[in-house]
Amino acid sequence: MMSRKHGAAALTLAALALSGCMVGPNYKAPAMPAPPTYSDNGHNGDWTAAQPADSADRGAWWTIYQSAELNGLEQRCATANQSIAAALAAYQQAHDLVRENRAALYPTASVGAGVSRTGLSADKPGLTAASLRDYWDFLVPLNISWEPDLWGGVRRQIESAGANAQSAAANLANTRLSLQGMLAVTYFQLRGLDLQAQLLQSTLDAYTQTLDLTQARFKGGLATESDVAQAQAQLEGTRAQLVDLGVQRAQYEHAIAVLIGEPASNFHIAAQPLAGDPPSIPTGVPSELLQRRPDIAAAERQVAAANAQIGVAKAAFYPNITLGTQGGIETDALSRILNSGSAEWNTGISANQLLFDAGRRRAQMDYALAQRDQATALYRQQVLSAFRDVEDQLSALRVLEQEAAVQQRAVDAAKRSTQLSLLRYRQGLAVYLEVLTNQTIELTDERAAAALVARRIVASTQLQMALGGGWTTSQLPAN
């Protein structure tokens, strides 16, 4: 049994460990000034930015597009995507490292058991006739040791591991955001191809009617065989464009299949043309971006982890204190193993101070400082990139809306020109080349307008991703 003196010493050291200092710098997030507003905030032209609506639930941010099919695909992506599963496993590993490091705050205890039979030489010096020359040795050892965290090295290591775990959680959120955003972009690009296919199909119907008209005029002697050949070539060329869309559409389908964790050969999405303008998206103010982007949070947590490692390196300059207790039961007869007289123990305290290591600890300290500087620079670069991403998509939405309005006017004019040329052709006042030229211009303008529908919705999706989707730093796990 430990003496009162020893117990008091142990309690004193325990109190020192629990209230001891933590060497190394306390963490302070790197300063990163944010502009008061986004520069491209809809003040030019007729484009109007969405008003902030931070009270809105942006968790499932894709629901703003009101597509039940997309909603279902996003849920499947969240549960079946293998990259998300890998990121989740990485977070679980980081969480387990926190538990492992936290265990260093507590004593370790081990117990064992052993039995041996010893035989001594009858001629061994020092033995008397009464001495045992062979005997049993039954041993049940118990060892307890504890190294108090007087300088905070263990607590700094736990702090670093906790920040790394939070960074892994933010990386998981960023992986989920990136993949679900990629799914939405791919889905809308596929629907954009469906809109192109719908346009080409209606154009084929119109070109078929034009071919019939040209053939009828040829039979009546009012058109040349060349006119018929040109009409036929235009029809088949447009049909080839429609067939060619199938290649891109199949690739988009396959990409979506991978994102939702399904074999590409078993996946198919029925055609459904894209329609409508992109919805309004609340942007908030730039300073909120630091809490709404998981990649920024991951980079900031890496700075915190690196900062804590400075404390770990600094603690190595101080002496180590170890409390140890060894005890157990030892007897030569199994029948006496529970006797109080068979118990033995010893306890003690030891200290160790490294005097010379040829600069190893100093190098480790400098390495930790450089790691923090690197993590800080990467964090600030990530913030700058995030601001750029938002500005890029705000500019894209504004410019694309203006372009769509201009392109629609071009489509209306091309349609009017085609109608007039067809009327003149029927009346024998225009050659077929005029009709062919106007129809070609009309199809080109209509396809450009259809492409803009998809580009605008894709840009709005990318803006959602640039804003962090519905994620905030409040979703990080407790340190």
- pLDDT digits over 210-254, tens only? 999 999 999 998 899 999 999 999 999 999 999 999 999 999 999
Whether residue 2 is contained in a domain is answered as no
pLDDT value of residue 117: 83
How far is C-alpha 432 from the chain's CA centre? 57
Dihedral angle sign, alpha carbons of residues 471, 472, 477, 479 = positive
Whether residue 191 is contained in a domain is answered as yes
Whether residue 124 is contained in a domain is answered as no
> Could you give the CA distance from residue 125 to residue 122 in angstroms, rounded to a whole number?
9
Whether residue 121 is contained in a domain is answered as no
Low-confidence ranges of the chain (pLDDT < 70): 1-20, 41-58, 122-124, 126-133, 479
pLDDT value of residue 333: 77
Whether residue 185 is contained in a domain is answered as yes
Report the chain's C-alpha Rg in angstroms.
Answer: 38
**Chain position carrying tokens 């010493």:** 9
Tokens at residue 291, please? Answer: 């809490």
Instruction: Give, in order, the Cα–Cα distances in Å from 418 to each of 213, 233, 422, 439, 459.
Output: 15, 18, 6, 6, 32
Domain count along the chain: 1
Instruction: Give, in order, the Cα–Cα distances in Å from 462 to each of 120, 188, 295, 468.
Output: 84, 11, 15, 10
Instruction: Give, in order, the Cα–Cα distances in Å from 337 to each of 118, 191, 194, 468.
Output: 18, 81, 85, 67
> Could you give the CA distance from residue 60 to residue 75 in angstroms, rounded to a whole number?
9
pLDDT value of residue 307: 97
pLDDT value of residue 345: 82
pLDDT value of residue 1: 38
Neighbours of 458 (CB within 10 A): 22
pLDDT value of residue 364: 95
Whether residue 427 is contained in a domain is answered as yes
pLDDT tens digits, one per residue of 79-89: 999 999 999 99
**Chain position carrying tokens 């947590």:** 301
Neighbours of 203 (CB within 10 A): 21
> Could you give the CA distance from residue 167 to residue 175 in angstroms, rounded to a whole number?
12
**CATH value at residue 293:** 1.20.1600.10
Whether residue 74 is contained in a domain is answered as yes
Whether residue 443 is contained in a domain is answered as yes
Residue-number span of the structural domain to which 468 is assigned? 23-105+151-318+360-475
Closest among 387, 165, 171 to 295, alpha carbons compared: 171
> Could you give the CA distance from residue 134 to residue 121 in angstroms, rounded to a whole number?
9
> What DSSP assignment string belongs to 5-31?
HHHHHHHHHHHHHHH----SPPP-PPP
CB 64 within 8 A of CB 277: no
Tokens at residue 169, please? Answer: 């959680």
Instruction: Give, in order, the Cα–Cα distances in Å from 185 to each of 34, 449, 456.
Output: 28, 18, 11
pLDDT value of residue 103: 94
pLDDT value of residue 55: 38
